[in-house]
Amino acid sequence: MSKLWGGRFERETDRAVEAFTASIGVDARLWEVDIRASIAHARMLGRVGVLTSEEAQSIIAGLQAIAQDIAEGRITFNPNAEDVHTEIERLLTERIGAVAGKLHTARSRNDQVATDTRLYLREGIDALCEEILRLQEWLVNTAEQHLHTILPGFTHLQHAQPVSLAHHLMAYFWMLQRDRERLRDCRRRVNHLPLGSAALAGTSFPLDREMVAQELGFEGVCENSLDAVSDRDFVVEFLACAALVMTHLSRLAEELILWSTPEFGFVELDDSVTTGSSIMPQKKNPDVAELIRGRVGRVVGDLTGALVMLKALPLSYNRDLQEDKGFLFDALDTVRDSVALMHLMLSRAQWRTERMKQAVSGDFSNATDLADYLVRKGVPFRQAHEVVGRVVQYCLKGGRTLESLQVDELRQFSDLFDADAVQAIQPETVLQVRRTRGGTSPDAVQEQIAHARQLIGGDNH
Ligand code: ARG
C-alpha cells in the first residue's frame, strides 16, 4: 500500500514492521472525532486564507459524506491501514481527489492524534459521569426506603454497631460523588486544544487556533506545542480516576458477594444477573460482582502501563505514545460497563431485611450503648467500658444476649443501672440515638439524603 510518507523511501516497509507499528485495530474508534477535528481545521484554513473557500468546502463536504457512510455501515476500514488518520485521508482522496492532500496543511498526525484523544476522552468522561449519576440516583432512592432497616455495621468484618441499610448504601453514594468530582476536574485539563502545534514546533501558516478550539468545544488552546504533542498526563489522570471508581465498585461488589451467601443472607441477587454451575445444580453465582471486582486489576494495570509508557520519554512526540489508546480505551470500556452492570444488578436485588435484623439480635453490637449509659451517669468512659466488658463476658458464659438481661442482673455489675438501661440497648434505640451529623439515625440519614439530592439535582456532570 502506498504510504502518505513514502516519498523519501526507496524500499518497501517490511510486512512485519507494518503489522508491528499499525494502530488501526485500536484507534479505528477515533474516526468520528478525527473527522470532526479535520472539518474544524479545514474550515479554519479556509477562513484564514490558507485554503480557498472552494477547497475548504470540498474537503468539508467530503469528510461529512465519509462520516455518514461510516456511521451507516457503508465503509469498512482497510485492516492493513497504518492508523485511522491515514485511512480517513485515503478515503477522502478517493472521494474528492488531489485537493484532499491540502487538508494536512499546517497539521501533523502528532497534534491530530492528541486532539482526537482529548475529544474522545472528554465525551467518554461525560458518558461515564452520566452512568455514575444513574447509579447514585438508585442509591439515594433505595436508601430513602430503608432508613429504619437495621443491620450490623462492621469493622474488621466483625459486628461492631448497628447501622441502617440506608446509611450503608449512602456511603457508596459519597464515594461515587467524589469520583464524579474528580472526573469533572480532570475534564477541565483534558479540554484544551493541541491542534496548531503541528509536528512539535508550531507552524508558519497564520492559523486561528481559537476558532478551532471554539468549534470543537475546547476551553482553551494548549500553550506549548512541544508539551501539546507529547504529554499524556491527561490520560494518566483519567486512568487514576477510573482506577478509583473501580476500586469503589469492587468494595460494593465484594459486599454483594458476601451478603448473598447463606451465611449472611442479606441479599438475593436476581436470576437474570447471576450464573449457574455446570456441575452443581443448586448453584447461583454472583459472577457479575466477581468480574467487577476482578476488573479493577485491568484498570490499575492500564494506569500503571500509561505511567511507565510515559516515564523518561524525551520531548517531544515519540511513537511510544501510540500505546496510550490501548490503556485508555480499555479503561473507558471497563469502567463504564462495570458501573452500568452494578446498577443493573442492584436494581434487581432483593434485600432480606428480616435476616439483617436477626443478625443484629444478640450480637453485642449494642455494648457501646450500655457503656454510654453509664457515662451519662457520670462514670468515666474507660471504667464504663470495663464494666460492660464484664457484662458481655457474663452473657457469653450463660448463653444470654445483652438485650435480654433484667435490671437486677445488670445491677450486679453497677448499681447505676436502672430500668431504662434495658430500653437503651434495643437495636431500634441504638440506631435512633446516633443523631450526630453523618450518623446512622433515620433523622441524620434523611438529612444526608437531602444534601445528596441537592448535589445530584444541581449539576449534570
Ligand atoms: N498512530 C499514531 C499515534 O497514535 C499517530 C501519530 C503518528 N505520528 C508519527 N510521527 N509517526 O500516536
**pLDDT tens, residue by residue, 195-240:** 999 999 999 999 999 999 999 999 999 999 999 999 999 999 999 9
- If pLDDT is split at 50, 70 and 90, which confidence band does 333 have? very high
The number of angstroms, rounded, from the C-alpha of 335 to the middle of its chain's C-alpha atoms is 5
How far apart CA 113 and CA 27 sit, in angstroms, is 9
What is the average pLDDT across 431-442?
Answer: 96
Atom of ligand 1 nearest to the CA of 23: 1
In this predicted structure, what is the pLDDT of residue 8? 84
| Residue 16, pLDDT above cutoff 60 | yes
What is the average pLDDT across 138-160?
Answer: 97
In this predicted structure, what is the pLDDT of residue 460? 42
Report the chain's mean pLDDT, rounded to a whole number: 96
The number of angstroms, rounded, from the C-alpha of 77 to the middle of its chain's C-alpha atoms is 31
* Residue the block writes with cell 461488589: 253
- If pLDDT is split at 50, 70 and 90, which confidence band does 22 have? very high
How far apart CA 353 and CA 148 sit, in angstroms, is 10
| Residue 458, pLDDT above cutoff 70 | no
Residues 6+ apart with CB under 8 A from 86: 4, 109
What is the average pLDDT across 112-135?
Answer: 98
- If pLDDT is split at 50, 70 and 90, which confidence band does 1 have? low
| Residue type, position 130, single letter | E
Mark 256-285 as b/e (b = at least 16 C-beta within 10 Å): bbbbbeeebebbbbeeebbeeeeeeeeeee
- If pLDDT is split at 50, 70 and 90, which confidence band does 96 have? very high
User: Model pTM greater than 0.85?
Assistant: yes
The DSSP bridge partners found for residue 192 are 220
| Residue 366, pLDDT above cutoff 50 | yes
Measured from the CB, is residue 36 less than 6 Å from ligand 1?
no
In this predicted structure, what is the pLDDT of residue 21? 96
Atom of ligand 1 nearest to the CA of 317: 10
What is the average pLDDT across 347-355?
Answer: 98
| Residue 102, pLDDT above cutoff 50 | yes
CB 250 within 8 A of CB 299: no
* Cis amide linkage into residue 230, ω under 30° from 0: no
Residue nearest to atom 11 of ligand 1 (CA): 319
Percent of the chain at pLDDT > 70 equals: 99
In this predicted structure, what is the pLDDT of residue 65? 98
Ligand 1 pocket test target in 8, 83, 104, 323 with most atoms within 8 Å of CB: 83
CB-facing half-sphere around the CA of 81: CA atoms within 13 A: 19
Atom of ligand 1 nearest to the CA of 27: 4
Expressed in angstroms and rounded, the spacing between residue 253 Cα and the centre of ligand 1 is 39
Measured from the CB, is residue 112 less than 6 Å from ligand 1?
no
Q: Is 217 left (phi over 0), alpha (psi -120 to 50) or beta?
A: left
Measured from the CB, is residue 321 less than 6 Å from ligand 1?
yes
Ligand 1 pocket test target in 320, 322, 325 with most atoms within 8 Å of CB: 322
Catalytic sites, residue numbers: 156, 277
Instruction: Count Cβ atoms within 10 A of the Cβ of residue 137 and give its class: 0-12 exposed, 13-18 middle, 19 or more buried.
Output: middle
Domains and CATH numbers, the chain: 13-105 (1.10.275.10), 110-148+162-356 (1.20.200.10), 359-459 (1.10.40.30)
| Residue 280, pLDDT above cutoff 60 | yes
Residues 6+ apart with CB under 8 A from 45: 51, 56, 102, 105, 106, 205, 207
